[in-house]
Structure 1
Amino acid sequence: MTDYPEIRGFIADWFARFDRLDPIDAFLPDLHPDVEWDTPDIDTALGGHDRVRAWYRVVLETLQRPTEHHVSKIVVKPGAAQFEVLFRATTVAGDLIEASVQEDWRFETRPDGRPLITHYSAKFLQEADT
């Protein structure tokens, strides 16, 4: 049985990019062009990379750098990963936010072992303003 270190490393790198709020171009190469992007408050008329861009535009307009993502309870299987993320950030208005999120990914494995995400789901477990 494998512990999938390449997938776990990818997850850590993915959220390090979100902590820095890297440009959208840092994420799109790791997302299938037709990725199913299932996150709260996104225009459901959009699909694939367009939907991701719309979501991330709101993120960049709403949050200050840096943000914090603490990943736990990672379970990786061939073509899928599930884990929890504790998210903390400060809005541009100065409000502190904290949320626990359940992430569910499906992916294809590229020849170098890195995932190409085909389905990305993030659902709130709890949300509390601090």
Structure 2
Amino acid sequence: MKVNYYLNFDGDAADAFHFYKAIFGGEFMAFLKMNETPDANKLTEDEQNRTLHIALPIAEGVILMGSDILPSMGHQFKPGNNMYISLHPESRKEADRLYNGLSIDGAVEMELQDTFWGAYYGSFTDKYGVKWMINFDENRS
């Protein structure tokens, strides 16, 4: 299983990741804007220009990932709540096991489900306040 760090920002994810890129070097593995989503027309103009997902390898086997929050979806940015542990299991079965176990008595953000970007994904805060993402992508396992 791969483990990565996922950071949330309030409209400045792209700026932050360009800064990190200047320090760590390398190239972005992914850089998608919110206007590339199927429901982009439901977002404000500002939100359409926000970062949906960005990924930068920073060390051997370590990828720093991030995105911007969407205030129109009820997201609230607070320093301290902007980091997730992103787990990338090697099977759907393992994704289910991790999600079902870690989310017990927690607060689900997004149920584990197939997504438009092709992954089986869910996110939640566990009962201890730790934020998690489970992302199984059979094309990248």
Q: Which band: TM-score by shorter chain? A: 0.3 to 0.5
* Greater fraction of residues in strand: 1
**Under a length normalisation based on structure 2, what TM-score does the superposition of the two structures give?**
0.31
**Under a length normalisation based on structure 1, what TM-score does the superposition of the two structures give?**
0.32
